[in-house]
Structure 1
């Protein structure tokens, strides 16, 4: 057997060993379902916050102190204008009451009512309405002013509040993805790629530290070349990452059947500009390149550290650096064809994320061919440099790593 074939066989043996040792454990099931646990905790928190918010919104009203005729016009104007306003928590329902002897004092008393949240109150004649509010940034007071304007226009025109037109609404399918849909797809690509890559590549550090503590890495180093150990571990953990990604991709592709029809219709507008088949292919390629870049760095870090504390100290700067690359790629999506986007696409560690976002927002193919070639070069450089540092870290695992001076 030639030397190259033996090296490949040894590398694949290490990869199969690491893949089996990681997947064939009960903890891998917990790791596989970790995103579901995170989503469950987030859903519980959002439901709690929504319940609190809905409880507060139920006690929130806009008040208009007006005579019966003016109150009827205000309610008619509210019925016409409110459906055109985006439904948001800042626009509570309208309530009208008859004026008392002192409408100004009545309005202030409503605004200060401790049992109900009243953001704004309108009183006085509709051609000269008086509006009071407590929040300096309140938008409800402007809404009440618009209602008074519309009600006064209806009064002067002699309208009884009935609609003058009967619109017909027709939904037309777009021939292309909207700008918002492409931006949403690009953001999803960058965020999911960053989270999955960082979470999966970080496993290499823990595995390396465990094998260094129980001396397994030294047994492997005595049996096969360290280059095979490094590449085998990288390939084995990449196989775990592919299994994780395939599982959640299958779940994501079938979960739309369980979503409400309005939510599914909203998600249907999110689509990449390059098309789903090409986008999926490019996403897998950029995930592979990003994982190889980050995985080789984390594996090298794990070889240099001999204690969990050292791993934490070395991993933290790398994680912070990756967060910076993540923000860099998001900025590139927000500013396409700018120097920020060009820099993010050229810098090796942010290039996979930025180009995944570009696949969702642009239909051009040739930048991806150039980017993949450029990233393959840096993957080769990173793996080559990482294998050398890995050898140094493993071989010096029994003694001090740095000797600052020697005695004569």
Structure 2
């Protein structure tokens, strides 16, 4: 192919890309698409608020009960107050403690407490503290353990004869200079999920775009004006430009979240980070997102070229989505088990390689394996685009059939 033909092919491809980019971005519906994560997050927040409201309605109505003599009740309340200091924020602390004076039949009184109408009793302790009996309901096994430990500590204080603390600790808060192992694993999972979510959300547009232009015959006009390969690559690049705009917008917002967080929460995020360092991680994340998007986008464009109705789009898109979810699961396992056989397989298998290698960037500091992985993935991107262009040609030239002939697709 001559230099002039190559330049003309590139110019035609970029023209199609610019056309699709402008047609997608400069529309009111793009704003809805751009803020789709915010809309989905709002629905999730509303659901969470409703659940929290239901849960808060029962707060203050549950308690644990200890049926002990008054002198032990005083010590037990002091011990309970000290033990509850280990619970912070959203930690699931035991319900409030209520003490009752034993009567002639403590066991009967304990069973009566479990049937109280004014409040819910998770568990009840009665009897001597060296051998206490604890009754608990279906959800009270954890509170029963707490009451058992409370009886143990109360008995120890009673034997010492003084409820005052025996030690006074001095606490120092230390911020790690590097991410912890658990933080690296968390960063790896967030990386896999982020690429999976973005590719699934953004690449799926290609199917609807292709089917729409097939139905209104625009694709035939484009095919008559420029080579089909330019149309295919142009559409893929145009949709990728939309994806880059989406990622840049939300990436900028997410990068500023830490400035809005309380200092203690922001310090906690310091334990979560990639092993390769943030600058290299950002570059690798975008590179692997590009590879994953081009792979999935080419497949979706090919599907859109074969489908002539919305029903056919749904039928063909579902298997691709199932495979993509399977690749997400495989890469998630690889992220949690770096260096294992599963991780190695996920890093080399073409469809899961972008996800697994992005997770490796969070788990391992070596950079050179990513050079090999990106070259390997680029090879498969070329293969998928080549097959997709042939499927695209088949779908456009026989737009009425909507059927894929493998012999015509792969034949010369």
| TM-score clears 0.5 | yes
Seen in structure 2, the aligned counterparts of structure 1 residues 400 and 56 have a Cα distance that, compared at 3 Å, is closer
**Structure 1 pair 137–300 and aligned structure 2 pair: CA distance change class (3 A):** farther
Counting only pairs closer than 5 Å after superposition, residues 219-258 of structure 1 correspond to structure 2 as 219-258=221-260
Match of residue 178 from structure 1 = 180
| Residues 3-402 of structure 1 aligned to structure 2 (within 5 Å) | 3-85=5-87, 88-89=91-92, 91-135=94-138, 138-158=141-161, 160-399=162-401, 401=403
Indicate conservation of the 8 Å contact 1:120/1:131, yes or no. yes
Q: Deviations over 1:77-133 (max 9, x none)?
A: 212222235663362121112223321111111111233121100011111211111
Closer/same/farther in 2, CA of residues 112 and 37 from structure 1, 3 Å limit? same
Q: Deviations over 1:278-304 (max 9, x none)?
A: 100000000000000000000000001
Change over 3 Å in CA distance of 1:13–1:107 after alignment to 2: same
- RMSD of aligned residue pairs (Cα, Å): 1.6
Q: Are the equivalent residues in 1 in contact too, given 2:299–2:384 (CA < 8 A)?
A: yes
- Does structure 2 retain, via aligned residues, the 8 Å contact 1:274–1:359? yes
CA distance in 2, matches of 1:120, 1:106: 13
Q: Hey, what does 2:410 align to over in structure 1? A: none
C-alpha distance in 2 between matches for 1:403 and 1:278: 44
Q: Check conservation: 1:61, 1:93, Cα contact below 8 A.
A: yes
Question: Per the alignment, in what secondary structure is the counterpart of residue 338 of structure 2?
Answer: coil
Q: Secondary structure at the match of 1:63?
A: strand
TM-score if structure 1 supplies the norm length? 0.95
Query: Secondary structure in 2 aligned to 1:7?
Result: helix
SS of 1:165's equivalent?
A: coil
Relative to 1, partners in 2 of residues 1:173 and 1:115: Cα closer, same or farther, differing over 3 Å? same
Q: Distance in 2 between matches of 1:212 and 1:268?
A: 50
Contact 2:65 2:124 in 1 (8 A): yes
What is the Cα deviation at residue 173 of structure 1? Answer: 2.2
For 2:404 and 2:155, the matched residues in 1 are separated by 84
- Cα separation, 2, equivalents of 1:403 and 1:153: 81
Q: Secondary structure at the match of 2:400?
A: coil
SS of corresponding position for 2:141: coil
Cα 1:285–1:403 shift into 2, 3 Å: closer
CA contact (8 A) 1:325 1:349 kept: yes
Deviations 1:27-69 (A, max 9, x none): 0000000000011111111111112112223211111111111
- State the Cα deviation string for residues 179-223 of structure 1 (Å, max 9, x = none): 121111111111111001111000000000100000000000000
